[in-house]
């Protein structure tokens, strides 16, 4: 049979290896997953900023379309028609209409609008030619031109495009945009729509830390990602996640998952621990059982061979003196007693194990039980040179108990005291009353029990495997029976022992509530 140690190591290896591999794999794939998640998130932020820029283009493209419509409805449209167009688009400061050579430049201005930037400089015939070529090629290009800011604080952009139907000398149209108004009227609603509950979006003017507009309070330093606005490259469009930052979310998730994986590992380890313990317990029990069988065989064989030997000697009538004959009879009877006790113990034990042991309780006096047992042991104690000290209290209340069972308990204790004493053969038996308890002490000055074995001696089959006890035969059942009997009587058993100095067992029985009469001792 393999030792529990080897089995434990094999088990640990079998479980630790896969656990270790699993935890390592989980940790790796967790961090991979988290990195993937973070990169997806980053791309999402990028896409958000892109969609807002895209929106700005789409809106201005729409305006170019509208102007196409105005021109198509009335070629060489009147300033009033453009004035109405301007009225409906607050982000526009003015409209510029020009021919291909920029010889005639017509500016339609929003009423009340002052301080327009110089428009002629950025408009070059070459620029208009480029737009017209594109238009001929079948698509419209809107070309932004940054205007000088000399006349005002706001960013000015001129969006140039060639109309669909160049008419009445209008070959290019320019839209003068006011950045602040554009942000407020066009971009702000889009930012709100995109931000929802998940993001904070903001637009920052060049060189400012506070936003020109943001969906929630936002500082430039908090931005997770920022991009220039295509239309107004000096303006910054930025976003940050709402609440925790993505790193915090990812780290928190990573921590939680790691904790779960580690917890799982610990649970598995605890499982291994439990399995190992129960295997070790089963193995020790199996070992103790096999020791028990060999011990019982020995215990049976010794008295039987003694009985046989003395009986045969007597039968052959070889013993001359009466005294010797009486001594032989005593030995035969003592060994028969020993056999009876052994068989009784085994039978009681098997009844207890099968749950069939019952106790017939009746009022009894503990002193009487003790005296009966001492009478049984009188001769053996004397022949083995034991000094016996008996102190029985005379004020003991009656107990409710099973006489036979209690005798068996006391016999086992005295038997052990005799078995495990060599240097100083001494037996002390005392009864006393402690409050609502009747107490029985059985003490010896024998081998004693090692401290580490004290809480195991009441286990079935357990025997101390060192010293004198090792050489003394026994079944390991005696104290298990005593323990069971005492517990069945509602009592407790205590043991005090010093190695090489002796042992004292103390049985405590509760006095029944109705007990009054003091029986004679
Ligand atoms: P056993 O048949 O071995 O005596 P027990 O159940 O009666 O079995 O006792 C269990 C073990 O406790 C013994 O093997 C012995 O090691 C120890 N033991 C019990 N009583 C004494 C004692 N009075 N002195 C020393 N050791 C004792």
Which residue lies with its CA nearest to atom 23 of ligand 1?
A: 417
Q: Which comes out higher in pLDDT, residue 425 or 103?
A: 425
pLDDT score of 210 more than 60:
yes
pLDDT score of 93 more than 70:
yes
Which residue lies with its CA nearest to atom 8 of ligand 1?
A: 476
What gap in Å lies between CA 198 and CA 190, rounded to an integer? Answer: 14
Contact yes or no for 489/512 (Cβ under 8 A): no
Q: How many helices (H) and strands (E) does the chain have?
A: 11, 16
How distant, in Å, are the alpha carbons of 251, 386, 518 from that of 81?
Answer: 59, 134, 127
Q: What is the number of other CB atoms lying within 10 angstroms of the CB of residue 107? A: 16
Q: How far does the centroid of ligand 1 lie from the alpha carbon of residue 416, in Å? A: 6
Which residue lies with its CA nearest to atom 25 of ligand 1?
A: 448
- Counting ligand 1 atoms within 8 A of each CB, the residue from 479, 480, 500, 505 with the most, and so the one to mutate, is 479
Q: What is the number of other CB atoms lying within 10 angstroms of the CB of residue 125? A: 15
User: Residue 1: what pLDDT?
Assistant: 54
Tell me the residue length of the chain: 521
- Counting ligand 1 atoms within 8 A of each CB, the residue from 422, 463, 482, 485 with the most, and so the one to mutate, is 463
Which residue lies with its CA nearest to atom 11 of ligand 1?
A: 463
What gap in Å lies between CA 179 and CA 232, rounded to an integer? Answer: 7
Q: Which comes out higher in pLDDT, residue 260 or 396?
A: 396
What gap in Å lies between CA 513 and CA 434, rounded to an integer? Answer: 15
User: Residue 459: what pLDDT?
Assistant: 92
Q: How far does the centroid of ligand 1 lie from the alpha carbon of residue 296, in Å? A: 15
pLDDT score of 45 more than 60:
yes
How distant, in Å, are the alpha carbons of 7, 66, 89, 211, 415 from that of 63?
Answer: 83, 5, 9, 27, 113
Contact yes or no for 56/186 (Cβ under 8 A): yes
User: Residue 246: what pLDDT?
Assistant: 64
pLDDT score of 468 more than 70:
no
Q: How far does the centroid of ligand 1 lie from the alpha carbon of residue 438, in Å? A: 24
User: Residue 402: what pLDDT?
Assistant: 95
Q: How far does the centroid of ligand 1 lie from the alpha carbon of residue 458, in Å? A: 9
Q: How far does the centroid of ligand 1 lie from the alpha carbon of residue 176, in Å? A: 108
Indicate the range of 69-83, 212-226, 475-489 predicted with least confidence.
69-83
pLDDT score of 453 more than 60:
yes
Q: What percent of the chain has pLDDT over 90?
A: 40
Q: What number does the ligand 1 atom closest to the CA of 463 have?
A: 14
User: Residue 362: what pLDDT?
Assistant: 93
Q: Which comes out higher in pLDDT, residue 21 or 217?
A: 217
Domain spans of the chain, in order of start? 59-175, 354-510
Q: How far does the centroid of ligand 1 lie from the alpha carbon of residue 344, in Å? A: 17
- Beta-carbon contacts of residue 407 (< 8 Å; ≥ 6 apart): 369, 372, 373
Which stretch, 2-6, 109-113, 264-268, 368-372, has highest mean pLDDT?
Answer: 368-372
Q: What number does the ligand 1 atom closest to the CA of 417 have?
A: 23
Q: How far does the centroid of ligand 1 lie from the alpha carbon of residue 494, in Å? A: 14
Q: How far does the centroid of ligand 1 lie from the alpha carbon of residue 467, in Å? A: 12
User: Residue 515: what pLDDT?
Assistant: 57
Q: How far does the centroid of ligand 1 lie from the alpha carbon of residue 457, in Å? A: 7
pLDDT category at 193 given cuts 50, 70, 90 is very high
- Counting ligand 1 atoms within 8 A of each CB, the residue from 289, 338, 447, 457 with the most, and so the one to mutate, is 457
pLDDT tens digits, 218-269? 998 888 889 999 888 889 999 988 876 666 777 787 788 888 888 888 888 8
Calculate Rg over the CA atoms of the chain: 53
Strand (E) positions, 338-460?
A: 362-364, 387-392, 399-401, 424-434, 437-445
pLDDT score of 520 more than 50:
no
Q: Which among 459, 48, 119 is positioned nearest to 289, based on CA atoms?
A: 459
Q: What number does the ligand 1 atom closest to the CA of 475 have?
A: 2
The mean per-residue pLDDT over the stretch 283-291 comes to 86
User: Residue 14: what pLDDT?
Assistant: 80
pLDDT score of 4 more than 80:
no
Q: What number does the ligand 1 atom closest to the CA of 462 have?
A: 10
How distant, in Å, are the alpha carbons of 193, 228, 449 from that of 504?
Answer: 87, 92, 10
For the structural domain made of 59-175, what CATH number should be given? 3.30.450
- The DSSP letter of residue 183 is I
Do strands 143-147 and 199-204 pair parallel, antiparallel, or not at all (unpaired)? unpaired
Cβ burial of 513 (10 Å; 0-12, 13-18, 19+) is: exposed
Asked whether the domain spanning 354-510 has the same topology as the one spanning 59-175, the reply is no
User: Residue 379: what pLDDT?
Assistant: 82
pLDDT score of 80 more than 60:
yes
Indicate the range of 14-28, 324-338, 452-466, 481-495 predicted with least confidence.
14-28
Listing from the earlier edge strand, what are the strands of the sheet with 437-445?
387-392, 424-434, 437-445, 502-510, 492-498
Indicate the range of 74-78, 135-139, 189-193, 236-240 predicted with least confidence.
74-78
Q: How far does the centroid of ligand 1 lie from the alpha carbon of residue 355, in Å? A: 24
pLDDT score of 195 more than 60:
yes
pLDDT tens digits, 143-191? 888 877 655 556 778 888 888 776 767 888 888 888 888 999 999 999 9
Indicate the range of 151-160, 384-393, 443-452 predicted with least confidence.
151-160
Q: What number does the ligand 1 atom closest to the CA of 477 have?
A: 6
pLDDT score of 273 more than 70:
yes
pLDDT tens digits, 329-365? 988 998 998 899 899 989 999 999 898 889 999 999 9
pLDDT category at 482 given cuts 50, 70, 90 is very high
Which residue lies with its CA nearest to atom 13 of ligand 1?
A: 463
For the structural domain made of 354-510, what CATH number should be given? 3.30.565.10
Q: How far does the centroid of ligand 1 lie from the alpha carbon of residue 422, in Å? A: 14
Q: How far does the centroid of ligand 1 lie from the alpha carbon of residue 498, in Å? A: 14
The pTM (predicted TM-score) of the whole model is 0.55
Is the four-CA dihedral 182, 184, 185, 191 of positive or negative sign? positive
User: Residue 2: what pLDDT?
Assistant: 63
Kindly write down the DSSP assignment for every residue of 257-318, as one continuous string: HHHHHHHHHHHHHHHHHHHHHHHHHHHHHHHHHHHHHHHHHHHHHHHHHHHHHHHHHHHTT-
Q: What is the number of other CB atoms lying within 10 angstroms of the CB of residue 111? A: 7
Average pLDDT, the chain: 86
Q: What number does the ligand 1 atom closest to the CA of 502 have?
A: 24
How distant, in Å, are the alpha carbons of 315, 390, 500, 517 from that of 395?
Answer: 51, 15, 34, 10
Tell me, rounded to whole angstroms, the distance of Cα 127 from its chain centroid.
Answer: 70
User: Residue 470: what pLDDT?
Assistant: 57
How distant, in Å, are the alpha carbons of 3, 69, 76, 322, 422 from that of 136?
Answer: 94, 18, 20, 149, 125
Q: How far does the centroid of ligand 1 lie from the alpha carbon of residue 396, in Å? A: 29
What gap in Å lies between CA 131 and CA 143, rounded to an integer? Answer: 8
User: Residue 519: what pLDDT?
Assistant: 47
pLDDT score of 114 more than 80:
no
- Encode burial over 357-386: b for 16+ CB neighbours within 10 A, e otherwise: beeeeeebbbbbbbbebbebbeebbeeeeb
Q: What number does the ligand 1 atom closest to the CA of 505 have?
A: 23
| Ligand 1 interacting residues, C-beta cut-off 6 A | 412, 416-417, 420, 444, 446-449, 457, 462-464, 469, 474-480, 503
pLDDT category at 42 given cuts 50, 70, 90 is confident
User: Residue 363: what pLDDT?
Assistant: 94
Q: What number does the ligand 1 atom closest to the CA of 474 have?
A: 2
């Amino acid at each position: 049979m393999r030792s529990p140690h080897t089995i434990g190591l094999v088990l640990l290896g079998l479980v630790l290896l896969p656990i270790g591999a699993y935890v390592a794999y989980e940790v790796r794939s967790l961090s991979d997953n988290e990195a993937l998640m973070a990169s997806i998130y980053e791309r999402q932020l990028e896409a958000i900023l892109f969609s807002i820029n895209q929106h700005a283009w789409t809106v201005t493209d729409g305006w170019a379309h509208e102007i196409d419509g105005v021109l198509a409805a009335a070629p060489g449209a009147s300033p009033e028609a453009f004035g109405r167009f301007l009225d409906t688009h607050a982000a526009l400061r003015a409209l510029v209409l020009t021919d291909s050579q920029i010889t005639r430049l017509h500016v339609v201005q929003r009423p009340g609008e002052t301080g327009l930037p110089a428009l002629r400089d950025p408009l070059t015939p070459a620029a208009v030619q480029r737009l017209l070529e594109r238009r001929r090629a079948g698509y419209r290009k809107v070309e932004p031109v940054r205007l000088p800011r000399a006349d005002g604080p706001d960013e000015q952009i001129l969006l140039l495009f060639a109309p669909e139907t160049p008419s009445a000398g209008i070959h290019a149209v320019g839209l003068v945009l006011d950045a602040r108004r554009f942000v407020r009227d066009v971009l702000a609603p889009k930012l709100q729509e995109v931000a929802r509950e998940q993001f904070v979006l903001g637009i920052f003017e060049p060189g400012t830390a506070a936003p020109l507009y943001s969906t929630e309070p936002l500082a430039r330093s908090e931005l997770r990602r920022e991009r220039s606005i295509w239309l107004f490259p000096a303006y910054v469009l930025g976003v940050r996640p709402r609440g925790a930052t993505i790193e915090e979310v990812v780290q928190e998730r990573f921590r939680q998952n790691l904790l779960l994986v580690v917890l799982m590992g610990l649970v598995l380890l605890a499982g291994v621990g439990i399995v190992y313990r129960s295997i070790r317990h089963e193995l020790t029990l199996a070992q103790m059982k096999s020791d028990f069988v060999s011990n019982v065989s020995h215990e049976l064989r010794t008295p039987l061979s003694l009985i046989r030997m003395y009986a045969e000697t007597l039968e052959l009538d070889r013993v001359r003196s009466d005294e010797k004959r009486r001594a032989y009879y005593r030995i035969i009877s003592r060994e028969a007693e020993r056999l009876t006790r052994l068989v009784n113990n085994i039978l009681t034990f098997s009844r207890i194990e099968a749950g069939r042991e019952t106790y017939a309780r009746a009022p009894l006096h503990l002193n009487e039980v003790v005296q009966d047992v001492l009478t049984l042991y009188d001769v053996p104690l004397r022949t083995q040179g034991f000094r016996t000290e008996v102190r029985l209290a005379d004020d003991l209340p009656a107990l409710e108990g099973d006489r036979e069972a209690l005798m068996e308990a006391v016999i086992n204790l005295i038997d052990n005291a005799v078995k495990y004493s060599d240097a100083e053969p001494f037996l002390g038996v005392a009864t006393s009353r402690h409050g609502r308890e009747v107490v029985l002490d059985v003490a010896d000055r024998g081998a004693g029990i090692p401290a580490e074995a004290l809480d195991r001696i009441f286990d079935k089959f357990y025997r101390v495997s060192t010293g004198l006890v090792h050489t003394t035969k026994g079944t390991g059942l005696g104290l298990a029976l005593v323990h069971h009997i005492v517990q069945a009587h509602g009592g407790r058993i205590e043991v005090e022992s010093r190695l090489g100095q002796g042992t004292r067992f103390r049985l405590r029985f509760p006095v029944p509530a109705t007990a009054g009469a003091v029986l004679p001792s």
